[in-house]
Structure 1
Amino acid sequence: MGCVIAGGGPAGAMLALLLARSGVEVTLLEKHGDFLRDFRGDTIHPSTLQVLDELGLAQEFLKLPHRKAYDLNLVSDRGDIKIASLRRLPSAYRYIAFVPQWDFLKLITTAAERYPGFRLLMNAEAYDLIREGGAVRGLRYRDESGEHEIRADLTVAADGRHSVLRERAGLVPENLGAPMDVVWFRLPRHRSDRDDTFLRISPGHMMVAINRESYWQLAYLIVKGGYARLTEQGIDALRGPVGDLLPWLADRVGQIEGYDDVSVLTVALNRLRRWHRPGFLCIGDAAHAMSPVFGVGINLAVQDAVAAANLLAGMLGSGAPIPESALHRVQRRRMLPTRLTQAAQRLVQNRVINPALTGGLDPSRLPRDLTKIPLLNRVAPRFIGQGIRPEHVMVKEL
């Protein structure tokens, strides 16, 4: 068999589609029974929209329930501050689309099912690698019927920031640090509420509010490791800041009945120094866990998948052995975007998020419209919208 991929997230699903589309036999394993997990990243940036366009899926994507953000706004105690605008991007897609990640994954895997070489196994948890002759030759997984093996020319770990297969391969990520964790929850949205998705900062507090039409998906940032301390203070320790930051939600914070109503994202920022072993490759969060800063995680994962397909599909399709040097070319192509994006995330974490959470930053002092700063207006939209070295689909459909 050509390729087996562990992890049905954006990286794994996109790679599976691209390989199947090029005629490669590929099996995708997802350890859950569906894609319906709440509080997953769901910002689809112009770089990913362009990939969908190149695959002929853009119109199908745009039929999904979604919201478009053309401008990015910060709300301070004294009012709104425009951070960036995507309206002048040199792209057909000049916005960020907010869509539930499960809808995005369903779109990708449904498209992959059109190709005879694609197979999706749900409730299939990869737990080990098959090694022969000093190389990885597949994986072992378990499902409701027991334990199984799949042998393949290439095994790809796209199983997230806590990748089991990465660990089995003896690859250990370098921790770059993050000053925050995120408490996720939702509250009902009223028609009289504001209409956009925005960042709210007040000295000592920080929150992201995502408009989901019928409800708000809210991300309240806390100091790294501070969740236990927050819960010890009782649920009002969360309700109070939410009501203070967003007074128009104060009449609804009582619907957060307890900490069972929230989820906690332990933020990690790390990357592997080596993404591969013979016959084995890590992509997406398994290769580099991204901070929520800029909301680029999905898009970096998709770019990894496109690069991997462009560089490896031909060899996989021909049945030729996959030299480790080919896997290293994937890492080499995607390492620069990873490093630069993470460097920018660290800069924001250190200069904005940490000071905001510790009370040392008052955004009210910033100009009302940062897009009027020429250099920032040129760089920020491209960096956020298209990223460093955006990938394009080069493999042909068979």
Structure 2
Amino acid sequence: MTEAPEYDCIVAGGGPAGMMAGLLFARAGCRVLVLEKHGDFLRDFRGDTVHPSTLDIFGDLGLLDSFLELPHSRLPRLGGVFGDERVAVADFSRLKARCRFIAMVPQWHLLDFIARAGAQLPGFELRMKAEVTGLVVDGPEGGVRGVTVLEQGAERRVTARLVIGADGRHSRVREAAGLPLKEVGAPIDVLWFSLPRPEGGRSADAPEPLVRSRGGRILVTIDRGDYFQCAYVIRKGGAAQVRAAGIDAFRREVAATVPEFAGVVAQLEDVDALKLLTVRMDRLERWSRPGLVMIGDGAHAMSPIGGVGINLAVQDAVAAANLFAGPLAEGRLGEVDLEALRLRRAWPARATQALQGLIQNRLLGPILESREGGEAPPDRAPLPLRIVSAIPWLQRRVGAVVGLGLRPEHPRSPERHRLEPPGS
């Protein structure tokens, strides 16, 4: 006799996709267990961009006003500076959305907010320091019936009707499930670091440019109030060369790219302050097997370009809840339902990766290559960006693609338990 599952749904991974999935399935009346291997959400150098599409989802759930009480900055537009030339790239100010801006929210605040909202629901359970180590299956090719989880030094089994793999681009769940992965490839990597805000702050009459390029170098600057989170773009595999050159050389590179940083680069004490993000783009060709489905970075790792990874992951979670919550609560979830998620969400992921690939290969790559090839790098924006900057309508179109995505999702799963704004 088969034992009854302990939960309707187990979510492996407490990132944006996993936390949102846990919240929505519990809201629909399911018994949900979210397993997160870390003891807290306080890890820096994660994506901070919460786009209008995700803010709309919070609005649909009645949580938007309380979410916007979190510490954040707002980007109604995206732009850059190439040499001394400022370009406008994306305009969110006329979107058909509740919020016509990107909210820059440290990811630990985002995840903690969702956790506090979920804690109101009787079916929501979050366990920290609980690492998913494998799957519980019926035979080598059988259905997934749960996971093995390592907690407090002991490993045990936890069973459920459905396992959602949301454990990121290095997913252990995906590996254990044997789902085929297609590498898309990326020609760049990123070095993350933080710098204090230079004296004088930013100009009051213009938003902080997000992308800076000078002399064949590219630096992304994310405004976090009294400091900047920075991403220095390098060629794939170039981190060892940067580290070998030493921190003094890197400080000079940063100051040459953004002269305003010349007075603060000494805050980078050594090369250990530079955190490597190995950029990868890949996607699953099959997202599910009986009893298991993958979402977020575990299904499609995105480039950091556009900051769209969080928002695609959250939309996967919303679509999963819309498609599965009702059948799961009624005990009739089948393989056709699981495949329906891939059919709905694979196209937006593929198309977004294609756009990111064009930007990496046609816009960023030539800037980096010009310097490495000994040429005099052009200190002006690539022609496509200059065209976009000259035509406001194009800036609004780019804003719609970046801000809303190619297939925005809205919660439609049954609302068995109403959410209230979480307390502080």
Equivalent residue number for residue 380 of structure 2 = 363
CA distance in 1, matches of 2:21, 2:387: 39
| 1:86 and 2:103 are equivalent in the alignment | no
User: Structure 2 matches for 1:1-398, cutoff 5 A?
Assistant: 1-132=7-138, 134-190=142-198, 192-194=200-202, 196-320=208-332, 322-359=333-370, 362-364=379-381, 366=383, 370-373=388-391, 376-398=394-416
CA distance in 1 between counterparts of 2:46 and 2:257 reads 23
- Contact 1:203–1:357 (CA<8 Å) still a contact in 2? no
Q: Which amino acid aligns with 1:7?
A: G
Structure 2 CA distance for partners of 1:154 and 1:365, relative to 1, 3 Å: closer
- TM-superposed CA distance for 1:368, in Å, is 6.1
Query: For 1:168 and 1:52, how far apart are their aligned partners in 2?
Result: 33
TM-superposition CA deviations, 1:340-375 (whole Å, max 9, x none)? 111100110111111121126643465767344266
Asked if the contact 2:198/2:264 (under 8 Å) is kept, the reply is: no
Aligned mates of 1:148, 1:96 — CA distance in 2: 41
The superposition leaves residues 237-260 of structure 1 with CA deviations (integer Å, 9 ceiling, x where unpaired) of 311110111111111111111111
Q: Give, in whole Å, the separation in 2 of the partners of 1:232 and 1:223.
A: 15
Displacement after TM superposition at 1:300 (Å): 0.1
Distance in 2 of aligned mates of 1:266 and 1:291? 10
Contact 2:80/2:209, CA 8 A, preserved across alignment: no
Query: Given residue 368 of structure 2, which amino acid in structure 1 is its aligned partner?
Result: L
Deviations 1:253-274 (A, max 9, x none): 1111111112110001110000
Would you say how many aligned residue pairs link Structure 1 and Structure 2?
Answer: 397
Deviation, structure 1 residue 140: 0.2
Could you tell me how far 1:92 is from its partner in structure 2? Answer: 2.0
Query: What is the identity, as a one-letter code, of the residue corresponding to 1:255?
Result: Q
Q: 1:283 to 1:309 in 2, by over 3 A?
A: same
* Contact 2:148–2:158 (8 Å) recurs in 1: yes
Q: 1:52-73 CA deviation, whole Å, 9 max, x = no partner?
A: 0001110111000000001111
Three-state SS of the structure 2 residue aligned to 1:102 is: helix
**1:300-340 deviations in whole A, cap 9, x for unaligned?**
000000000000000111123x2111100001000110111
Q: CA deviation at 1:208?
A: 0.3
CA distance in structure 1 between the aligned counterparts of 2:199 and 2:387, rounded to whole angstroms: 27
Q: Root-mean-square deviation (CA), in Å?
A: 1.5
Contact 2:49 2:308 in 1 (8 A): yes
Q: Which moved more, 1:83-92 or 1:96-105?
A: 83-92
Q: Mind listing any 5+ residue stretches in structure 2 that lack a counterpart?
A: 1-6, 371-376, 417-424
Query: Offset at 1:378?
Result: 4.3
Is 2:34–2:126's contact at 8 Å kept on the other side of the alignment? yes
Answer with 293-302 or 196-205: which moved more: 196-205
C-alpha separation between the residues in 1 aligned to 2:131 and 2:395?
45
User: Aligned partner of 2:244: which letter?
Assistant: E
Contact 1:35 1:105 in 2 (8 A): yes
**Cα separation, 2, equivalents of 1:28 and 1:293:** 28
Query: Matched residues in 2 for 1:243 and 1:362: separation?
Result: 15
Q: Secondary structure at the match of 1:13?
A: helix
Q: State the identity %.
A: 48
Q: TM-score when scaled to structure 1? A: 0.97
Shift of 1:5: 0.6
Alpha carbons 1:31, 1:122 under 8 Å: kept = yes
* Aligned-partner Cα distance in 2 for 1:203–1:270: 31
1:193–1:248 contact (8 Å) kept in structure 2: no
Equivalent-residue separation in structure 2 for 1:287 and 1:259 (angstroms): 32
The alignment's TM-score, normalised by the length of structure 2, stands at 0.91
CA 131–280 in structure 1, closer or farther in 2 if over 3 Å, else same: same
Q: Which amino acid aligns with 1:23?
A: G
Unaligned 5+ residue runs, structure 1?
none
| SS of aligned partner of 1:343 | helix
SS at 1:312 equivalent: helix
Q: Deviations over 1:146-168 (max 9, x none)?
A: 11111000011100000001000
Distance 1:338 1:149 in 2: 32
